[in-house]
């Protein structure tokens, strides 16, 4: 056991930090720091900079633009990105689809798509969920029928995050309705969003944001060449992808940044007799969350170190399930702390100069008006990417033998 | 003790429930929400016809002479339907200030107008620095001949943008956080020097930032009672909002239970999963605990011992807040993605409950104060 970062790792952290400082546009940094999501242009621009530096997809094999780094080194990079805060590389491209293509794609697919995924020349979205298939993903109905060298896709996807920005979508479709097991008739397809027959309809979430969409497929023609892996074996790709999706959600670096920022804000926020930060109850609640976050940080490092060592064995680490459950709980808890700090002025809805029907400015500080919106929005954290309940079912079954 | 409703109370509950069923479907509510005022004048008129707006006022003043239990009954229904009208602002808060702080002349001038739905009120109290402290008032009122000149700024005045009359707290003497020296004034919203900036609150309702720039009012504009009056009316509002929260929680629970029975995943209703069953049962525990506190609030609203009343209202606010948060969060969690959307009622309950939690002091504010005051069960 060596329970400290090495000198090399510490030096690397410094290198990353100063590179980000030198390269992150001020506008992007400000928007991120205010607690908003980056615009599409900001995301693309930033990811291209990371790509040019070789840092967009360090976890991929070197031949596809990855780095021969330890998991700890990759952790340091992503933590620095999150805690600046800067936009993280687009998860759909880099953490979900990329690894699937590397594991299951044809040579042509790899050559064509991987560089574009890493550089964000193509923006992908994830078309898994359907109205009737949420937690029970394998019950999906969206169908693809073979016709010559094409599939014809018909059906609906929902909750498709950022489909309004996406150039392409990766889809799970049913290619064999008669398979003995639901999981056996599913295929994994890549679809150009410009193909005729695709309609994207916004879903507005309770915080007023347009983040998710419904996507409809009406006789959409998809070349056979866009099938990933084997027909009817798409579930293998899906399972592989979902396990990557889940470990990516602890976001400890982002939570640390949110806490540090909250401390600064709360110091400046009057709370009657004294600043909010000097309210003992607020402080102890905040500290309690910090302690739990510290534990989660250690758990993350354990999982990463283990991943490094046991790559060949590929045995799942029980602690990795803790990351999604506790990571999202802590993000939600931090969002509640912001609501508390905002107090009565947090009742004002956010003023977003880019949105139509904007709220009138100046009624409260920007962060105050965002506090409740973020709290509402982050209720999603324990629902998507495998709900907390589903994670616990997995733990009970896979690790506890229940 | 008797926790059952009387015949008249049941009638009141039923007639309001029927009105809201007709006028306040979720789709209708959406239309009200999007309108200029953010609520419905038509529904407001219907409230007047039903006698709701004159409810808590003495019969001599032109009201119905109802008490806190009736307010509780009405607010619970309002919570169920997620109504948007300025009932708390006008009837509970505005009405409370008139009942406890106004002269008979003031009341006879204003109460009939409220009862008929012709006068809207709002309570302009919170300031940027005050957070939840009712005694933290920087806005000033200076004597000016027979009248007063008011100067200052108030924030998140709920329904402040549509109100006709504002109840404004202002410092007459002493330091910003002194308990003494706080005056309460009736200020017409169109008085010279009043500037209002309306905006949406996080639950979609309306509020305003209001500045008072050398606003002149006459001597008769002052209400009597100072901070004690403010605390008393705030406590009545806590009771009303508590009952509204119960309505929200109950409707959210019902919606969730229905969903657990109908939504199928893995080939069976999700309500057949024990982890969700237990959570649904916990929602019920929360609801019943909160309901008890809403009743305590109704009981305590007329308590003459200020200390006793405040202490209990703090307990009400804490306990309802805690339980409301759980019920609101679970409503979303157990629905999955669907309750994250604007189109579905589920998430709107969490939003309203969150706003209620943050009105007149959040859980931490009252916990700190109550523990300072020796807790609920005071040791000798
Ligand atoms: C904001 C947001 C963004 C999303 N983005 C995407 C995206 O980009 N692409 C995509 O494909 N999908 C996306 N999703 C969909 C997400 O993955 C699903 O919402 C999720 O899988 C849950 O499905 P559901 O909403 O249908 O809920 P349901 O599956 O209906 O679940 C309802 C409730 O029942 C519980 N439950 C279900 N089964 C069990 C069980 N066996 N045991 C115990 N409890 C159970 C759930 O945990 C939940 O609490 C997104 C969702 C949201 C909210
Ligand atoms: C101090 C003490 C005094 C007692 N006094 C008396 C007495 O005077 N007379 C008497 O007759 N008995 C008495 N009992 C017995 C008591 O009623 C039992 O302990 C109780 O019924 C639980 O049974 P068990 O201990 O066999 O636990 P089990 O029934 O084996 O339960 C073990 C765990 O499984 C859970 N569980 C069981 N079934 C389910 C289910 N369907 N769903 C979810 N969870 C489930 C339980 O809640 C518990 O957490 C006493 C017990 C104690 C500890």
3-state secondary structure of B123: strand
Q: Express each pLDDT in A306-349 by its tens digit.
A: 776 644 455 667 777 889 999 999 999 999 999 999 999 999 98
User: How far apart are the CA of B1 and the centre of ligand 1, in A?
Assistant: 46
Q: What integer is the mean pLDDT of A128-133?
A: 97
Q: Which of A270, A281, A392 is closest, CB to CB, to B131? A: A270
Does pLDDT of A392 surpass 90? yes
Q: What integer is the mean pLDDT of A175-195?
A: 96
Q: Which of B265, B341, B347 is closest, CB to CB, to A134? A: B265
pLDDT recorded at residue A311: 46
Identify whether the C-beta of residue B76 lies closer than 8 Å to the C-beta of residue B247: yes
pLDDT recorded at residue A122: 98
Q: Tell me the pTM.
A: 0.95
- Cα–Cα distance measured from residue B193 to residue B179, given in angstroms and rounded to the nearest whole number: 27
pLDDT recorded at residue A283: 96
Q: Enter the tokens of residue A267.
A: 């110091």
Q: Which atom of ligand 1 is nearest to the CA of A389?
A: 47
3-state secondary structure of B174: coil
Q: What integer is the mean pLDDT of A86-103?
A: 96
Residue that the structure tokens 């330091």 belong to:
B175
Tell me the count of A-B CB pairs closer than 8 A.
149
Residue B351 burial (CB < 10 Å; 0-12/13-18/19+)?
Answer: buried
Residue that the structure tokens 């008011």 belong to:
B150
Q: Which atom of ligand 1 is nearest to the CA of B263?
A: 30
**Closest among A197, A166, A182, A198 to A234, alpha carbons compared:** A182
**Closest among A214, A257, A234, A243 to A86, alpha carbons compared:** A257
Q: Enter the tokens of residue B4.
A: 């059952």
**Closest among B331, B357, B330, B359 to B346, alpha carbons compared:** B331
Residue B281: nearest ligand to its CA?
2
pLDDT recorded at residue B177: 97
Q: How many CB atoms lie within 10 A of CB B256?
A: 25
Alpha-carbon dihedral B27, B32, B36, B40, rounded to 10 degrees: 160
Q: List the Cα angle B22/B28/B33 in 5-degree steps.
A: 135
pLDDT recorded at residue A17: 97
Report how far Cα A105 is from the mean position of its chain's Cα atoms.
22
* Residue-by-residue DSSP string for A49-92: HHHHHT-S-TTS-GGGT-----HHHHHHHHHHHHHTT-PPPPHI
Contact state of A205 with B341 under an 8 Å Cβ cutoff:
yes
pLDDT recorded at residue B4: 87
Residues with CB under 6 Å of ligand 1 are A 126-129, 134-135, 159-161, 212, 380, 383-384, 387, 389-390, 393; B 263, 265-266, 270, 273, 275-276, 333-334, 336-337, 340
3-state secondary structure of A190: strand
**Which residue of chain A has the CA closest to B211?**
A363
3-state secondary structure of A363: coil
One digit per residue, pLDDT tens: chain B, 380 residues? 788 899 999 999 999 999 999 999 999 999 999 898 999 999 999 999 999 999 999 999 999 999 999 999 999 999 999 999 999 999 999 999 999 999 999 999 999 999 999 999 999 999 999 999 999 999 999 999 999 999 999 999 999 999 999 999 999 999 999 999 999 999 999 999 999 999 999 999 999 999 999 999 999 999 999 999 999 999 999 999 999 999 999 999 999 999 999 999 999 999 999 999 999 999 999 999 999 999 999 999 988 899 999 999 999 999 999 999 999 999 999 999 999 999 999 999 999 999 999 999 999 999 999 999 999 998 87
Angle between helices B345-357 and B226-262 (to 10 degrees): 160
Give chain B positions within 8 Å (CB) of A383: 332-333, 336-337, 340
Is the reported ipTM for this assembly greater than 0.90?
A: yes
Q: Which of A245, A278, A329, A389 is catalytic?
A: A245
- Cα–Cα distance measured from residue B162 to residue B200, given in angstroms and rounded to the nearest whole number: 12
- Cα–Cα distance measured from residue A176 to residue A357, given in angstroms and rounded to the nearest whole number: 46
Give the minimum alpha-carbon distance from A363 to chain B in angstroms, rounded to a whole number.
6
User: Which residue intervals of chain B are DSSP H helices?
Assistant: 7-23, 26-34, 41-49, 68-81, 87, 95-101, 104-115, 226-262, 274-300, 306-335, 345-357, 363-372
Does pLDDT of A175 surpass 90? yes
What does DSSP say about strands A186-192 and A168-174: parallel, antiparallel, or unpaired?
antiparallel
């Amino acid at each position: 056991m060596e329970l400290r970062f090495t000198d090399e790792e510490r030096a690397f952290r410094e290198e990353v930090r100063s590179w980000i400082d030198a390269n992150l546009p001020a506008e992007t940094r400000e928007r991120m720091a205010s607690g908003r999501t980056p615009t599409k242009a900001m995301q693309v621009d930033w990811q291209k900079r990371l790509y040019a530096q070789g840092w967009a997809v360090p976890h991929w094999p070197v031949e596809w633009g990855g780095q021969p780094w330890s998991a700890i080194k990759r952790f340091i990079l992503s933590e620095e990105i999150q805690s600046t805060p800067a936009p993280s590389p687009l998860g759909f491209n880099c953490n979900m689809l990329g690894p699937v293509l590397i594991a299951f794609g044809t040579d042509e697919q790899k050559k064509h798509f991987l560089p574009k995924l890493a550089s964000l020349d193509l923006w992908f979205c994830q078309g898994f969920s359907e109205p009737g298939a949420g937690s029970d993903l394998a019950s999906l109905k969206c169908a693809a029928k073979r016709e010559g060298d094409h599939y014809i896709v018909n059906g609906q996807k929902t909750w498709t995050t950022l489909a309004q920005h996406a150039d392409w979508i990766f889809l799970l479709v049913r290619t064999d309705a008669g398979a003995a097991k639901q999981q056996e008739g599913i295929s994994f397809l890549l679809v150009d969003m410009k193909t005729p027959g695709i309609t994207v309809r916004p879903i507005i979430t309770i915080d007023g944001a347009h983040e998710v969409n419904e996507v409809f497929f009406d006789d959409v023609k998809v070349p056979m060449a866009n099938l990933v892996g084997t027909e009817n074996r798409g579930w293998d790709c899906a399972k592989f992808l979902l396990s990557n999706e889940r470990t990516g959600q602890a976001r400890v670096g982002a939570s640390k940044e949110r806490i540090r920022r909250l401390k600064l804000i709360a110091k400046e926020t009057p709370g009657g007799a004294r600043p909010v930060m000097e309210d003992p109850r607020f402080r102890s609640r905040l500290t309690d969350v910090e302690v739990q976050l510290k534990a989660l940080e250690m758990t993350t490092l354990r999982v990463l170190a283990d991943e490094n060592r046991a790559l060949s064995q590929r045995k799942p680490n029980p602690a990795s399930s803790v990351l999604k459950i506790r990571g999202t709980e802590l993000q939600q808890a931090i969002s509640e702390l912001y609501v508390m700090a905002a107090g009565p002025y947090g009742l004002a809805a956010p003023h977003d100069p880019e949105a139509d029907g904007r709220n009138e400015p100046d009624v409260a500080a920007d962060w105050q008006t965002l506090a409740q919106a973020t709290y509402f929005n982050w209720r999603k954290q324990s629902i998507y990417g495998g709900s907390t309940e589903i994670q616990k079912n997995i733990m009970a079954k896979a690790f506890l033998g229940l | 003790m008797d926790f059952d409703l009387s015949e008249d109370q049941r009638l009141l509950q039923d007639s309001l429930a029927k009105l809201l069923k007709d006028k306040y479907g979720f789709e209708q509510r959406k239309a009200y929400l999007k309108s200029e005022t953010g609520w419905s004048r038509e529904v407001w008129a219907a409230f007047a016809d039903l006698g709701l707006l004159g409810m808590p006022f003495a019969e001599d003043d032109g009201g119905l002479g109802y008490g806190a239990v009736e307010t509780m009954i009405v607010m619970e229904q309002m919570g169920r339907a997620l109504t948007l009208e300025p009932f708390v602002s006008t009837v509970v808060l505005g009405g409370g200030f008139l009942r406890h702080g106004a002269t008979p002349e003031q009341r006879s001038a204003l109460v009939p107008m409220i009862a008929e739905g012709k006068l809207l009120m709002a309570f302009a109290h919170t300031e940027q620095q005050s957070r939840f402290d009712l005694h933290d008032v920087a806005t000033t009122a200076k004597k000016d001949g027979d009248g007063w000149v008011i100067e200052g700024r108030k924030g998140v005045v709920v329904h402040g943008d549509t109100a006709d009359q504002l109840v404004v707290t202002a410092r007459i003497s002493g330091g910003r956080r002194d308990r003494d020296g706080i005056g309460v004034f009736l200020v017409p919203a169109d008085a010279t020097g009043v500037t209002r900036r309306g905006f949406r609150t996080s639950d979609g309702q309306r509020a305003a930032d209001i500045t008072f720039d050398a606003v002149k009012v006459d001597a008769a504009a002052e209400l009597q009672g100072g901070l004690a009056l403010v605390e008393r009316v705030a406590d009545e509002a806590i009771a009303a909002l508590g009952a509204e929260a119960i309505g929200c929680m109950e409707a959210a629970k019902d919606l969730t239970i229905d969903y657990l029975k109908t939504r199928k995943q893995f080939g069976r209703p999700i309500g057949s999963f024990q982890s969700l069953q237990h959570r649904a049962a916990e929602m019920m525990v929360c609801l019943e605990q909160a309901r008890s506190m809403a009743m305590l609030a109704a009981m305590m609203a007329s308590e003459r011992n200020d200390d006793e009343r405040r202490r209990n209202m703090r307990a009400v606010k804490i306990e309802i807040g805690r339980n409301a948060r759980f019920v609101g969060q679970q409503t979303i969690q157990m629905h999955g993605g669907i309750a994250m959307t604007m189109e579905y009622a589920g998430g709107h309950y969490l939003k309203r409950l969150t706003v209620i939690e943050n009105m007149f002091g959040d859980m931490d504010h009252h916990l700190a104060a109550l523990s300072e005051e020796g807790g609920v069960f005071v040791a000798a």
